Chain A
Amino acid sequence: MEHYIMNLTLKVWKQKNPASNGKFETYQVKNISSEMSLLEMFDVLNEQLISEGNDPIAFDHDCREGICGACSMYVNGRPHGPWHGTTTCQLHMRAFKDGDTIVVEPWRANAFPVIKDLVVDRTAFDRIIQAGGYISVNTGNAVDGNTIPIEKEKADKAFAAAACIGCGACVAACKNSSALLFVAAKVSHLALLPQGDPERRTRVLSMVAQMDKEGFGSCTFTQACEAVCPKEISVTNISRLNAEYIAGGLGSDKDYGHQ
């Protein structure tokens, strides 16, 4: 595709700290290359803001290659912007035209409170993982995964689910702020593998209990999450989580502390 230069108007959410009321600020950015990523465009804008003595825009980022899940931006009414199956850092400016207005907002959900500007607190996801999204290896080295034979079809499904990078776009897109696609990806990934099998019944119940404590909503299968997921995690994982929940919940006597 041909390289071009554009001038853009940005409307970005600015919020000093978790307690303050934020608002949208409008910025003009000039001479943006179509080869830049959206984050690089923000870098250019931030350099400009700093040189003018203004507060730069805070945003999360780390790998800038679509694998860490840090870059949480809701761009023009869609988490991670207009492209399918990509993260914000993989969104290139050729997605926009000269003169466009781009509105950038943080993920919106009570469970993801804004820390500053576009940065939200996603430690709720960490606590869900801590509640059960692991396998227990109580002693010695981790067993070599390749010593246990795994059916190809299951390995593929587990791998597809394991691709979830915990970015939270599913929550940001969901009208109910449900985290179920994320939780389902983690539950499926482990439930499908022999290593995850011993704890599969309790894992799903603990993770769902933690998810509810964190204040995420419940799934109504609108499938908006799948549409925006940069890793194209399928909602069939949610069905699998439900099946795991039913089997686990009916079989277990333990109290999982739902309010």
Chain B
Amino acid sequence: MKWTEFFTSSVGKKLVMALTGLFLISFLVVHVGLNSCIFNDLEWFDPNDNGRMFNKAAHFMGSSVVIRIMEIGLFVGILIHAIQAYVLYVQNTSKRKIGYKVKMGTKGSTWYSKSMTLLGTLLLLFLIMHISHFWVPSRVTGTLDPVQYGDTHTHDLFARMVAVFQNPWIVALYVAGCISLGWHLLHGFQATFRTLGVSNKKYLVMANSAGLIFSILVPVLFALMPISIYLGWIG
């Protein structure tokens, strides 16, 4: 079987979704871990941090060649994941030209497993806004304020965060993005393992449980970032 055939059959297309989805999950781990450095500014830890820990971590991410290459990989990954998702959506919905009078609805399945394309589209819209808020000024236009920690010259991404999250509407959009992510992951996390061939029930229980924890923990941590800044707990 040729590679093209391997990845373009109905099963192969799902392998592409699963592999890119898994890659995006691994990115989320890094992203949520790194951004959680902003919580060091909380009263409980170091109120004088002012984003120092986060800015330094972000500087490290921006200065390493390996990470810059992975950043390109990330854009490509999201693009492939999203394009494949829409291709599948169009193909799958075309397979039943005449529908039912009485719909199945969510009998036997969850609403979010049936709404992955919608949830993904919300994520895509969110990502466009998110990238324009932070990645563009940081990496493209270079319009962020400079800041210096010892010998390290970098730009104040933390200050940008604090500025962006003063607007309650933006905060609401970020929280909505996190909620979409949670539902998307709740189905996607365990589905990835099924797609990649895990049929052993005890591993599927692990995938389901890990998926549940991941789909709550990551979006909650992400959502707490704009919320904490807006409420003045951070910044």
Question: Using a CB–CB distance below 8 Å, which chain A residues touch chain B?
Answer: 11, 24, 74, 76-78, 103, 105, 108-111, 173, 175-178, 180, 205, 208-209, 211-212, 215-224, 226-228, 235-246, 248-250, 252-256, 258
Contacts and interface: CB of A to CB of B under 8 A. Distances in A.
Contact of A218 (B1, B88, B99, B193): B88
B1 A175 contact: no
A104 to B, nearest CB: 10
B8 A176 contact: no
B150 interface: no
A256 B201 CA distance: 31
Q: Is chain A's interface secondary structure helix, strand, loop, or mixed overall?
A: mixed
Given A78-B104, A217-B95, A222-B110, A256 B5 contact: yes
Nearest to B8: A258
A209 B10 CA distance: 9
A177 B96 contact: yes
27 contacts: A74-B102, A76-B102, A105-B100, A105-B102, A108-B100, A111-B95, A177-B95, A178-B10, A208-B9, A216-B10, A217-B92, A218-B14, A219-B10, A219-B11, A220-B116, A221-B191, A221-B195, A222-B110, A223-B108, A227-B107, A227-B109, A236-B204, A239-B197, A243-B199, A246-B196, A252-B1, A258-B5
A110 B1 CA distance: 27
Given A177-B92, A205-B1, A222-B113, A228 B102 contact: no
Nearest to B11: A245
Interface of B: 1-2, 5-6, 8-15, 88, 91-105, 107-110, 113-114, 116, 187, 191, 193-201, 204
A48 to B, nearest CB: 23
Contacts of B93: 176
Contact of B109 (A24, A222, A237, A248): A222
B92 A78 contact: no
A256 B5 CA distance: 8
A248 B95 contact: no
A177 B99 CA distance: 11
Contacts of B102: 74, 76-77, 103, 105
B63 to A, nearest CB: 38
Contacts of B94: 110
Nearest to A82: B107
Contact of B101 (A24, A226, A238): A24
A176 B108 CA distance: 15
A32 B23 CA distance: 58
A94 to B, nearest CB: 20
A221 B11 contact: no
Contacts of B99: 108
Contacts of B113: 220-223
A178 to B, nearest CB: 7
The 10 nearest A-B residue pairs measured at CB: A227-B108, A243-B197, A77-B102, A218-B10, A176-B92, A239-B199, A222-B109, A177-B95, A217-B92, A217-B95
A77 B5 contact: no
A43 B14 CA distance: 44
Nearest to B190: A221
A259 to B, nearest CB: 9
